[in-house]
């Protein structure tokens, strides 16, 4: 069925009820990864490399094992060797050999903080002491941190078996360039020849961490027969099960993975770090093991997203029509291949209808922690460059920056440079909403500036399961296989309640473990409300069919003489007979006599996720003496398809914008000359605090996605794409200075002010 | 594993003898907001923690002879809530208030900030500008030390093993005087000062500066009193020429390092900016106008 | 005696526990007393997820030694509601959708209660600065600030703020 109808025809979807898991979260009862305790539990800790790049000569754990209270030590020698082959998982490539080696260094430590051993002991203090007693001998190797230095001939090579793919002929020598990718459309040389105006720029971004407030944590238990349980804070319990099984060489059926409440992820909890270690320690010790990262571990050893260097060249006619664009992107992958270079190559220019495009991308390893997904992986980086360059183009042409985007914006039927043709997209509606928003016309004071920037993300669908069960008393359980990271239990319950026609509080949504619901790909790609919502909707529809069938049995009339309305079975018209309507509870009461339990589980592979577009408007005030940028006003406009719970959709948009503002202004990784991270903590890795930000207005444009029963599009990732350029463009408007390098931190901006003054 | 002991003495003498008698390294604790972080990171490995908060007089504020006496362990939140102290020494109170979050303010103290001996400590330039004196007690008795003589280098103080600060004394306020403290940080809160500046001035009835102390933080191994900056102010109103001289004097006094929080060049320039802005607030206050600080 | 014996009051109830010197109040709350509502996000006083009220002052429990709780009175997030009746701050956080993942929420609830106890009529700017020691990575603070302002208005007995 299709519920893409005016809001007035919906009872629950589109309203703002209190989330079903809310009370537990405001009272401290919600149980997150580190809150779990099992009988007999002991503590696991990780020993980490102090070196950015070193050969592991030997590991001697004998002193640690002799310490009273130490129950187990594991090193790479305890893990199976895994073949070097690439699998495709969800949003990106996954190489399980690399995953294994990232969880536990084998032969070489590739970044400061790389795990080299782990211990389990009866107290945290003993585990800490044991870590100190493990004697690891290293041969320190030359290291390389920055992307272009890692690409340079003669750079220290991280992996002797890494030969750049995507180039012909195949290189004879290994390098740090894992692959080269390229996309072309039309003829860029001819396009630039036609251009009246050309802008060029070289932009750089720093790696930034997802900086979820909850550090990674898990508890593992393994019984003597090999049956294991893992409780963890993760974006995917099925991912934890599959990845842990793969890294350990265990059978998936022997592992049961329980999703705990998750304290933020933003993509960063789509891989495993501690789980395989905890499982192996639990197996070796025969005791349940809890492991938690410290905040410093989180920064040193879990994934940020890539830093990058991006060269952009855009040519346009005098009226603003873009005739050619060329982009070269070099993305840091961290210690193992697999930066989001693919989406990086696609997303920046996907917003525009361009005749001639050439994009070349490089995936480059260096001695940094392996990158992990971070909200629209790859897109914010490329869009910082593209949207900044478009702002330059608008300045050069003396065209309103919004008009430039309106003129060149992608619409239905636009064929992208990577081959996909846009369908049912809302970009122009978003631009229209930006133009008509009062913010866009509000006056500015001297010293202030306004910038706009746009962003795109594909959004994904994928494999999901959802179950709806009618309980004996008529209450309804909704089970999904996706950890709830920002309110998805509420939206699952709302869609189910809408279909069933029952009040929201009659529906109790839960997130199932891997043995209580069918396979579901992880929470990521802005897919849960779309794909899992589709499964839940279909399951609820099947339940409605069953309820109608049961009513027909009770009334002894044909099922097609029963209709379902307002949460009750009604006889369909006078001919069906005169019966009082039956509620869910009344039908449930008789379920035993009409065929047994009422419920349905749907597993599907959801196709047709609708792409999302956003446009952000940012006002800043610049203190030119200190280089400090204050965000004065911020409006984020986005096509959200259909907002199931508008407050949580707004929350996604506001949160994404805030993260982007942090990325724009202050967040960065600072390494010393030995390749050690100097700011591995919340004191000097500066995420925005409450007093840094204004209220962030989220404007929801609803262009329904026809391939979802309620018209849903993913919403969580798009909002982090535009902010960096929106801020940079606002700084440009306030000061005349084009800041090409992130973050636009005070020293950098003050230096730019001084350089301009010097140049006169 | 070396065991970490804890003691909470109830008298000055008890505290002094614990410190004097400690067989291994001992650390004093007031609010513990720096100490606990350093313990956890392994930077400090003491054998004994002496918690001073239960020693009488260590917590509390009293007025004495026109000045203020602040117990060494008094948390920032208590300073902030003291209307009289805030009216007399707004710069000192604001400097203390800038340290960390409201949560930190529930614990952190002036003496703790001083003895942690970070070059970037916010309250220290303000205290030095104010002419604050630390009352130090130890096995040899009691001595009064200008605050600037306590920190000697990053993480080091001039206190003997058996000594601790009992209280901080702020002098009486002359007429037409005012103080201020500003710092520059990349965010609006929660950062360590990139540059800090405390200014305390006295004016005559016409608004001409007759006495001044200008102190910079985070631009040298310890907070620096800048007599040349004070000289730029004395004898002048705060006109453009005076501000320019103040800026130059502040910049000239900087001996900063480049680290993760700022470069030499940036810190030096911003020191001049902060000196001008802080002086402007101090002058306003000296003329009886209530001005918002940070 | 190898551990400190501490007698204290937590959420109005007398509590005794044993701890080592280096164990923080947060360690004790979470690992000894099973009060896991206070969260560890940084253990360095930078994130505020472990905020508790101790003797009337808001503190990071990760920066307090467990042994220091001797003789004190501590309120944690578990002690904010009155039995099954939520505190207005808790209710307003729910109504305004002022949480996403909910991990920072206990710290925000405690800090907001402390704010409104100290200042029943804060400006938006005062609320933002008071809460600057509580990091939230999900919400961008917008809905949190709206919830705080609305809770303040309700507690002052005013009509719902906009």
pLDDT classification of B293: cutoffs 50, 70, 90: confident
Residue A84 pLDDT: 87
Q: How far is CA A248 from CA A230, A238, C41, in A?
A: 13, 15, 29
Q: Are residues B66 and B165 in the same domain?
A: yes
Query: What beta strand segments (E) does A268-381 contain?
Result: 289-292, 308-316, 322-334, 357-365
Number of compact structural domains in chain B = 3
User: Measured between beta carbons, which residues in chain B are less than 8 angstroms from residue C113?
Assistant: none
* Helix-strand-coil split of chain A, %, nearest 5: 30, 25, 40
Average of per-residue pLDDT across A380-404: 98
Decide the pairing of beta strands A54-60 and A135-140. Answer: antiparallel
Q: How confident is the model at residue A48 (pLDDT cuts 50, 70, 90)?
A: very high
* CA A650 vs CA A377, A426, A504, A620, A703: distances in Å: 21, 17, 20, 22, 16
Give the closest of C57, C114, C133 to B75, CB-based.
Answer: C57
β-pair partners for B75: B109
Q: How far is C113 from chain A (nearest CA, A)?
A: 12
Residue among C45, C114, C132 minimizing CB distance to B33: C45
DSSP state, residue A202:
E
Q: Has residue C162 been placed in a domain?
A: no
pLDDT of residue B183: 98
Residue-wise pLDDT for A536-553, tens only, equals 999 999 999 999 999 999
Report the residue from A34, A658, A681 with minimal CB separation from C46.
Answer: A681
Three-class DSSP category at A44: strand
Separation between Cα atoms, residue B80 and residue B73, nearest integer Å: 14
Average pLDDT taken over every residue of chain B: 96
- C106 in the same domain as C143: yes
**Beta strands at C4-10 and C73-75: parallel, antiparallel or unpaired:** parallel
Predicted pLDDT of residue C161: 44
The whole-angstrom separation of Cα A231 and Cα A531 is 24
The verdict on a CB contact (< 8 Å) between B39 and C22 is yes
B108 and B159 both lie in a single domain: yes
Residue C160 contacts residue C88 (beta carbons within 8 Å): no
Average pLDDT, chain C: 96
pLDDT of residue A598: 98
- Residue to mutate among C23, C60, C107, C148, with most B CBs inside 10 A, is C60
The fold adopted by the segment(s) A7-30+461-606 is: Aldehyde Oxidoreductase; domain 4 (3.30.365)
**Tell me, what DSSP letter sits at residue A323?**
E
What is the C-alpha separation between A230 and A211, in angstroms, rounded?
Answer: 23
Nearest to A651 among C81, C94, C143 (CB): C143
Q: Is residue B20 domain-shared with residue B103, that is, in the same domain?
A: no
- C36 and C96 belong to one structural domain: no
Q: Is residue C160 part of a domain?
A: no
Last residue of a domain, one of C79, C107, C134: C79
| Residue C74 shares a structural domain with residue C8 | yes
- Does residue C58 form part of some domain? yes
Tens digit of each residue's pLDDT (9 = 90 or more) over A199-229? 999 999 999 999 999 999 999 999 999 999 9
Residue A524: enclosing H or E segment and its boundaries? none
Scored b (16 or more CB within 10 A) or e, A688-709 reads bbbbbbbbbbbbbbbbbbebbb
Q: How far apart are CA A557 and CA A569, in angstroms?
A: 12
Half-sphere exposure of B61 (CA within 13 A, CB side): 21
Chain A: touching chains (3 or more CB pairs < 8 Å)? B, C
Judge whether B294 lies within some domain. no
pLDDT at C159: 59
Q: Are residues B203 and B113 in the same domain?
A: no
CATH assignment at residue C140:
1.10.150.120
Query: How much is the average pLDDT of B173-197?
Result: 97
The owner of tokens 């938690």 is A292
- Same-domain check for residues B165 and B183: no
Cα–chain-centroid distance for residue A286? 35
Q: Which of C59, C42, A736, A1 is nearest to B37 (CA)?
A: C42
Give me the residue label for tokens 């069953």. Answer: A546
Identify whether the C-beta of residue A688 lies closer than 8 Å to the C-beta of residue A416.
Answer: no
Look up the ipTM and state it. Answer: 0.97
Which candidate in B1, B99, B102 is best for mutational testing of the C interface (most C CBs within 10 A)? Answer: B102
Residue in chain B lying closest to C126 (CA) = B102
Which of B119, B146, B170 is the endpoint of a domain?
B170
pLDDT tens digits for C38-59? 999 999 999 999 999 999 999 9
| CA atoms within a 13 Å half-sphere pointing along the CA-CB vector of C68 | 28
Strands A562-565 and A696-701: unpaired
- For residues C10 and C70, membership in a common domain is answered with yes
Contacts B195 to A, Cβ<8 Å = none
In angstroms, rounded to a whole number, what is the distance separating the alpha carbons of residues A407 and A720?
A: 24
pLDDT of residue A573: 82
Domain that holds residue B18: 5-51
Residue B292 placed within a domain: no
Residue A360 C-alpha from the chain's centroid: 24
Token pair of A633 as six digits: 């006003």
Whether residue C161 is contained in a domain is answered as no
The CATH number of residue C64's host domain is: 3.10.20.30
Exposure letters A630-657 (e unless 16+ CB within 10 A, then b): ebbbbbbbbbbbbbbbbbbbbbbbbbbb
CB-count burial class (<10 Å; 0-12, 13-18, 19+) for A347: buried
Residue linked to tokens 């109504």: C95
Residue at C25 is within a domain: yes
Q: Is residue A1 scored above 90 in pLDDT? A: no
pLDDT of residue C162: 43
Residue C44 lies in a domain: yes
Positive/negative CA dihedral, A378, A380, A381, A382: positive
Domain residue limits at C24 = 4-79
Residue C41 lies in a domain: yes
Minimal Cα–Cα distance from C94 to chain A, Å?
6
Query: B119: which DSSP letter?
Result: T
Q: What is the pLDDT of residues A595-605, one digit of tens each?
A: 999 999 999 99
Would you list the domain boundaries of chain A? 7-30+461-606
Q: Residue A725: helix, strand or coil by DSSP? A: helix
Nearest to B188 among A683, A691, A754 (CB): A691
Neighbouring-strand partners of residue B143: B136
Residues B89 and B190 occupy one common structural domain: no
pLDDT for the residue numbered A90: 60
Task: Search chain B and give the residue with CA nearest C67.
Answer: B6
Task: Please indicate whether, in this complex, the C-beta atoms of A751 and B189 are within 8 angstroms of each other.
Answer: no
Q: What pLDDT was estimated at residue A7?
A: 96
Classify residue A458 by burial, with Cβ atoms within 10 Å: 0-12, 13-18, 19+. buried
Q: Are A376 and A720 in contact (CB under 8 A)?
A: yes
pLDDT tier for residue B1 given thresholds of 50, 70 and 90? low
**Average pLDDT estimate for C64-87:** 97
A685 interfaces chain C, CB cutoff of 8 Å: no
- Is residue A703 a contact partner of residue A530, using CB atoms and an 8 Å limit? no
Look at residue B258 and give its three-state secondary structure: coil
Interface of C with B (CB under 8 A): 2, 4, 20-22, 24, 43-46, 48, 51, 54, 57-60, 62-65, 67-68, 70, 111, 114-115, 129-134
Domain boundary among C16, C48, C79: C79
| Integer angstrom CA distances of residue A179 from A328, A337, A611, C70, C80 | 13, 8, 27, 60, 55
Identify the band that residue C160 occupies on the pLDDT scale cut at 50, 70 and 90: low
Average pLDDT, chain A: 97
Asked if the structure places residue B291 within a domain, the reply is: no
Residue B265 lies in a domain: yes
- Quote the CA–CA distance of B250 and A64 in Å, as a whole number: 54
- Name the token pair of B26: 């001992």
B142 Cα to chain C: minimum distance (Å): 27
pLDDT of res. A206: 97
Q: What is the pLDDT of residues B241-287, one digit of tens each?
A: 999 999 999 999 999 999 999 999 999 999 999 999 999 999 999 99
C70 with C104, same domain: the answer is no
Torsions phi, psi of C90, nearest 5? -65, -45
Tokens of A416: 């992208």
Is pLDDT at B154 greater than 70 in this prediction? yes
Bridge partners for A701 per DSSP = A639
pLDDT band at A92 (very low <50, low <70, confident <90, very high): low
**B111 contacts B28 by C-beta, under 8 angstroms:** no
| Dist. CA A315–CA B19, nearest whole Å | 74
HSE-CB of C112 using CA atoms within 13 angstroms: 32
Phi, psi of A148 (to 5 degrees): -75, -30
CATH number at residue B196: 3.30.390.50
For residue A2, the model assigns a pLDDT of 86
Q: Centre a 10 Å sphere on the Cβ of residue B151 and count the other Cβ atoms it contains.
A: 25
In a domain, B107, yes or no: yes
Q: What residue has token string 């939140």?
A: B77
A292·C76 Cβ contact <8 A: no
Q: Is the pLDDT of residue A517 over 80?
A: yes
**Residue given tokens 């009488």 in the structure block:** B56
- CB of A295 within 8 A of CB of A66? no
Q: Quick one: B193 and B260 in the same domain? A: yes
In angstroms, the first-to-last Cα distance of chain A is 66
- Which is nearest to A206 in space by CA: B260, C136, B189? B260
R_g over Cα of chain B: 19
Name the residue among A478, A473, A46, A482 with its Cα closest to residue A273.
A46
Residues C73 and C100 in one domain: no
Distance (Å, whole) CA A455 – CA A718: 6
Q: Which two tokens stand for residue A549?
A: 């069938």
Query: What is the model's pLDDT at position A89?
Result: 66
Identify the H or E element spanning A343: helix A341-347
């Amino acid at each position: 069925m299709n519920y893409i109808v005016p809001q007035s025809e919906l009872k629950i979807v589109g309203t703002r009820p209190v989330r079903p898991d809310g009370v537990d979260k405001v009272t401290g009862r919600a149980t997150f990864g580190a809150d779990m305790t099992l009988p007999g539990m002991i503590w696991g800790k990780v020993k980490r490399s102090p070196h950015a790049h070193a050969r592991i000569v030997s590991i001697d754990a004998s002193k640690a094992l002799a310490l009273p209270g130490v129950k187990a030590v594991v090193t790479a020698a305890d893990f199976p060797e895994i073949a070097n082959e690439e699998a495709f998982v969800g949003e990106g490539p996954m190489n399980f050999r690399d995953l294994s080696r990232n969880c536990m260094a084998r032969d070489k430590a590739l970044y400061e903080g790389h795990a080299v051993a782990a211990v389990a002991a009866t107290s945290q203090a003993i585990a800490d002491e044991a870590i100190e007693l493990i004697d690891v001998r290293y041969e320190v190797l030359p290291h390389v941190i920055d992307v272009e230095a890692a690409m340079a001939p003669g750079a220290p090579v991280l992996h002797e078996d890494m030969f750049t793919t995507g180039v012909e002929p195949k290189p004879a020598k290994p390098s740090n360039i894992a692959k080269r990718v390229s996309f072309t459309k039309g003829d860029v040389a001819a396009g630039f020849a036609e251009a009246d105006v050309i802008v060029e720029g070289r932009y750089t971004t720093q790696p930034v961490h997802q900086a979820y407030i909850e550090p990674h944590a898990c508890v593992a238990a393994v019984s003597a027969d090999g049956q294991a349980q893992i409780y963890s804070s993760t974006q995917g319990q099925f991912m934890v099960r599959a990845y842990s099984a793969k890294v350990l060489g265990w059978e998936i059926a022997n592992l049961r993975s329980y999703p705990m409440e998750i304290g933020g992820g933003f993509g960063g909890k789509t891989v495993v770090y501690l789980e395989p270690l905890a499982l192996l320690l639990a197996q070796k010790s025969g005791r349940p093991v809890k492991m938690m990262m410290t905040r410093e571990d989180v920064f040193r050893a879990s994934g940020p997203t890539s830093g990058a260097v991006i060269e952009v060249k855009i040519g346009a006619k005098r009226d603003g029509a873009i005739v050619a664009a060329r982009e070269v992107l070099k993305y840091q992958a961290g210690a193992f291949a697999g930066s989001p270079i693919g989406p990086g190559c696609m997303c920046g220019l996907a917003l525009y209808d361009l005749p001639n495009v050439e994009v070349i991308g490089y995936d480059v390893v260096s001695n940094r922690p392996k990158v992990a997904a971070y909200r629209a992986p790859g897109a914010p980086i490329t869009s910082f460059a593209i949207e900044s360059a478009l702002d330059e183009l608008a300045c050069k042409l003396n065209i309103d920056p919004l008009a430039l985007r309106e003129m060149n914006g992608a619409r239905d039927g636009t064929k992208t440079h990577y081959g996909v043709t846009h369908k049912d997209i809302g970009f122009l509606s978003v631009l229209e909403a930006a133009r008509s928003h009062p913010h866009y016309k509000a006056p500015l004071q001297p010293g202030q500036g306004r910038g706009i920037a746009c962003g795109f993300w594909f959004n994904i669908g994928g494999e999901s399961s959802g179950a709806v069960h009618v309980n004996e008393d008529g209450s309804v359980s909704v089970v999904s296989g996706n950890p709830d990271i920002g309110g998805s239990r509420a939206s699952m319950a709302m869609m189910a309640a809408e279909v069933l026609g029952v009040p929201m509080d009659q529906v109790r949504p839960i997130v199932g473990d891997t043995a209580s619901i069918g396979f579901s790909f992880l929470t990521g790609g802005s897919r849960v409300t779309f794909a899992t919502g589709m499964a839940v909707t279909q399951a609820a529809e099947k339940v409605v069919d069953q309820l109608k069938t049961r009513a027909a049995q009770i009334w002894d009339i044909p099922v097609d003489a029963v209709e379902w309305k307002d949460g009750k079975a009604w006889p369909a018209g006078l001919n069906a007979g005169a019966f009082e309507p039956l509620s869910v509870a009344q039908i449930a009461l008789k379920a035993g006599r009409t065929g047994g339990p009422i419920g349905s589980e749907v597993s599907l592979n959801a196709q047709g996720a609708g792409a999302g577009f956003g446009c952000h408007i940012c006002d800043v005030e610049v203190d030119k003496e200190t280089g400090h940028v204050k965000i004065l006003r911020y409006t984020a406009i986005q096509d959200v398809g259909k907002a199931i719970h508008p407050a949580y959709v707004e929350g996604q948009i506001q949160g994404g914008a805030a993260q982007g503002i942090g990325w724009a202004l202050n967040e960065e990784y600072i390494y010393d000359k030995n390749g050690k991270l100097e700011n591995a903590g919340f004191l000097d890795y500066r995420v925005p605090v409450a007093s840094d930000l204004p209220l962030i207005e989220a404007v929801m444009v609803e262009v329904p996605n026809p391939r979802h029963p309620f018209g849903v599009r993913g919403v969580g990732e798009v909002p982090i794409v535009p902010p960096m350029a929106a801020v940079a463009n606002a700084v440009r408007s306030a000061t005349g200075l084009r800041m090409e390098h992130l973050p636009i931190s005070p020293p950098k901006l003050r230096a730019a002010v001084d350089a301009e003054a010097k140049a006169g | 594993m070396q065991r970490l002991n804890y003691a909470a003495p109830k008298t000055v003498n008890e505290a002094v003898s614990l410190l004097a008698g400690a067989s291994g390294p001992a650390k004093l604790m007031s609010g513990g907001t720096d100490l606990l972080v350093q313990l956890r990171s392994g930077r400090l490995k003491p054998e004994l923690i002496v918690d001073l908060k239960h020693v009488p007089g260590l917590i509390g504020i009293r007025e004495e002879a026109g000045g203020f006496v602040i117990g060494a362990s008094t948390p920032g939140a208590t300073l902030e809530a003291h209307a009289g102290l805030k009216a007399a020494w707004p710069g000192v109170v604001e400097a203390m208030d800038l340290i960390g979050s409201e949560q930190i303010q529930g614990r952190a103290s002036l003496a703790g900030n001083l003895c942690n001996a970070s070059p970037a400590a916010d309250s220290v330039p303000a205290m030095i500008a104010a002419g604050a004196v630390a009352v130090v007690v130890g096995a040899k008795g009691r001595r009064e030390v200008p605050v600037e003589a306590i920190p000697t280098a990053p993480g080091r103080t001039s206190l003997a093993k058996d000594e601790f600060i009992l209280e901080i004394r702020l002098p009486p306020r002359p007429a037409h005087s005012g103080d201020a403290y500003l710092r520059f940080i990349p965010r609006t809160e929660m950062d360590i000062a990139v540059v800090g500046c405390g200014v305390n001035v006295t004016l005559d009835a016409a608004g001409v500066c007759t006495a001044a102390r200008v102190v910079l933080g985070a631009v040298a191994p310890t907070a620096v009193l800048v007599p040349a900056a004070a000289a730029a102010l004395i004898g002048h109103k705060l006109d453009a020429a005076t501000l320019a001289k103040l800026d130059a004097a502040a910049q000239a006094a900087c001996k900063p390092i480049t680290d993760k929080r700022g470069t030499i060049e940036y810190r030096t320039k911003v020191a001049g900016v902060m000196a001008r802005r802080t002086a402007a607030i101090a002058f306003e206050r000296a003329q009886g106008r209530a001005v918002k600080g940070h | 005696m190898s551990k400190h014996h501490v007698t204290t009051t937590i959420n109005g109830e007398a509590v005794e526990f044993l701890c080592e010197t280096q164990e923080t109040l947060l360690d004790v709350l979470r690992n000894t007393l099973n009060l896991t509502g206070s969260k560890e996000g940084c253990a360095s006083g930078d994130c505020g997820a472990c905020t508790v009220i101790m003797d009337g002052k808001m503190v990071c429990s990760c920066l307090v030694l467990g042994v220091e709780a001797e003789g004190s009175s501590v309120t944690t997030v578990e002690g904010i509601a009155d039995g099954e009746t939520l505190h207005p701050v808790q209710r307003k956080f729910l109504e305004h959708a002022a949480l996403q993942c909910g991990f920072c929420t206990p710290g925000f609830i405690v800090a907001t209660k402390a704010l409104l106890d100290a200042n029943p009529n804060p400006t938006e700017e005062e609320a933002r600065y008071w809460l600057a020691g509580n990091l939230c990575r999900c919400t961008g603070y917008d809905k949190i600030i709206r919830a705080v302002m609305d809770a303040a208005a309700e507690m002052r007995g005013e009509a719902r703020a906009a």
